[in-house]
């Protein structure tokens, strides 16, 4: 009997699991996950994360999770091989950063996440060397044009993300959540709002104990077996974006563009738990981010693997 990928995933995720209070993992974003012929705009992102559970709770606070992250984002024009500066429809840019985050999960199906970020945007991020190494290793096209990238500047950002569950439908197999997001600092300044909906075959876990937010670590709650589809539309008002516009204070970058003030995105994917892992795959579509007549909408895929332990 032939098993479909969905059947295999359901069998893989169909176990009862114990309690784990720590996790380590990564998220890899790349446009090659959806097309080997596309290599543009937000072309690669890699984040390693470690999170652990606090012992602090209260009448209103269900759990508190601390998170440490190290990551790198990579941006290119519509082609990675553009030695002629006049062909750039967005700047080359790399951003290397470290995050410290605190997420408070409250009763009534809601949480607040605060991230404090320190990084470097520009040649100091080593994004150009990483992309050139990747293209040599996997025999992709040669890379040219990084000498015109956004110049070095320190990244100091604070991000706040709040989510509230609105409703469950279909006997608990579908839900609807609303969220808002604020980013401010030297790299990104923007406001966002959107919705997240999970669609499963059985009752969904609470937002404080689910694979979607990697919140399923606990001293008391067991990890619930999960396998579901999710969709996440979002609208963002962009005040400034240093990966496009350069420094807010002393812009000496050779190529810059104004950011498109209103952008939209649509992400959808699958999430799954196994005994020790959270697994996910998603596709994200983004509208035009640069205020010019050459930049276009684009898409990328994401793979995330998180390992849980005590």
| CATH number of the domain encompassing residue 223 | 2.40.128.140
Distance CA 11, CA 75 (A): 38
Are 274 and 233 in contact by the 8 Å Cβ rule? The answer is: no
pLDDT of residue 1: 44
For residue 1, being part of any structural domain is answered with no
Are 90 and 77 in contact by the 8 Å Cβ rule? The answer is: yes
> What average pLDDT does range 277-294 have in this prediction?
93
- The domain total for the chain is 1
Domain, as residue range, for 255: 18-309
Distance CA 197, CA 174 (A): 7
Are 235 and 194 in contact by the 8 Å Cβ rule? The answer is: yes
Distance CA 129, CA 6 (A): 38
Q: Evaluate the CA torsion angle 277, 278, 283, 287 in order and state its sign.
A: negative
Give the model's confidence band at 56: pLDDT under 50 very low, under 70 low, under 90 confident, else very high.
Answer: confident
Q: Count Cβ atoms within 10 A of the Cβ of residue 18 and give its class: 0-12 exposed, 13-18 middle, 19 or more buried.
A: exposed
Q: Evaluate the CA torsion angle 140, 146, 149, 153 in order and state its sign.
A: positive
Give the model's confidence band at 176: pLDDT under 50 very low, under 70 low, under 90 confident, else very high.
Answer: very high
Nearest to 151 by CA among 72, 106, 95, 201: 95
For residue 10, being part of any structural domain is answered with no
Are 298 and 40 in contact by the 8 Å Cβ rule? The answer is: yes
Q: pTM of the entire structure? A: 0.92
Per residue in 217-262, pLDDT tens? 988 777 889 999 999 999 999 999 999 999 998 889 999 999 999 9
pLDDT of residue 46: 98
- Looking at residue 203, the DSSP 8-state letter turns out to be P
Mean pLDDT of the chain: 92
Per residue in 79-107, pLDDT tens? 888 889 988 999 999 999 999 999 999 99
Token pair 């097309």 is found at 35
**Which regions of the chain does DSSP assign to beta strands (E)?**
22-30, 41-53, 61-76, 93-106, 110-121, 153-169, 174-185, 188-200, 227-241, 262-273, 277-286, 298-309
CA atoms within 13 A on the CB side of 106: 10
Are 229 and 197 in contact by the 8 Å Cβ rule? The answer is: no
For the ranges 87-101, 110-124, 131-145, 199-213, which has the lowest average pLDDT? 131-145
19 token code pair: 């309690």
To the nearest 10°, the Cα dihedral for 99, 105, 109, 115? -20
261 token code pair: 């003030």
Distance CA 263, CA 65 (A): 30
Q: Which residues pair with 271 in a beta bridge?
A: 228, 280
152 pLDDT above the threshold of 60: yes
For residue 6, being part of any structural domain is answered with no
For residue 128, being part of any structural domain is answered with yes
Cβ atoms within 10 Å, residue 69: 18
For the ranges 3-7, 75-79, 100-104, which has the lowest average pLDDT? 3-7
Distance CA 66, CA 100 (A): 8
For residue 226, being part of any structural domain is answered with yes
For residue 54, being part of any structural domain is answered with yes
Distance CA 156, CA 234 (A): 24
For residue 158, being part of any structural domain is answered with yes
For residue 2, being part of any structural domain is answered with no
> What average pLDDT does range 58-81 have in this prediction?
94
Q: What is the 3-state secondary structure (H, E, C) of 102-139?
A: EEEEECCCEEEEEEEEEEEECHHHCHHHHHHHHHHHCC
């Amino acid at each position: 009997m032939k098993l479909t990928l969905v059947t295999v995933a359901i069998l893989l995720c169909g176990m009862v699991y114990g309690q784990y209070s720590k996790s380590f993992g990564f998220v890899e974003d790349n446009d090659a996950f959806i097309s080997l012929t596309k290599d543009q705009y937000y072309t690669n992102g890699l984040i390693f994360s470690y999170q652990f559970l606090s012992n602090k709770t209260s009448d209103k606070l269900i759990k508190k999770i601390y998170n440490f992250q190290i990551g790198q984002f990579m941006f290119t024009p519509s082609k990675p091989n553009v030695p002629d500066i006049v062909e750039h429809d967005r700047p080359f840019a790399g951003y290397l950063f470290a995050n410290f985050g605190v997420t408070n999960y409250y009763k009534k199906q809601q949480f607040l996440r605060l991230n404090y970020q320190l990084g470097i945007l520009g040649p100091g991020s080593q994004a150009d060397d990483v992309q050139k190494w990747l293209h040599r290793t996997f025999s992709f096209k040669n890379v040219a044009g990084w000498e015109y990238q956004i110049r070095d500047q320190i990244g100091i950002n604070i991000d706040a993300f709040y989510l509230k569950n609105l409703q469950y439908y279909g006997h608990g197999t579908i839900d609807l959540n609303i969220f808002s997001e604020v980013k401010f600092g030297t790299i990104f300044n923007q406001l966002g709002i959107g919705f997240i909906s999970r669609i499963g075959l059985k009752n969904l876990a609470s937002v404080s104990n689910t694979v979607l937010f990697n919140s399923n670590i606990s001293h008391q709650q067991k990890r619930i077996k999960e396998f579901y589809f999710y969709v996440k539309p979002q609208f963002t008002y962009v005040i400034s974006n240093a990966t496009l516009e350069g420094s807010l204070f002393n812009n000496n970058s050779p190529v810059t563009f104004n950011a498109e003030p209103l952008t939209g995105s649509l992400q959808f994917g699958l999430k799954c738990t196994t005994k020790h892992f959270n697994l996910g795959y998603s596709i994200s579509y983004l509208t035009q981010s640069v205020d010019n007549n050459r930049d276009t909408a684009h898409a990328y895929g994401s793979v995330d693997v998180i390992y849980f332990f005590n």
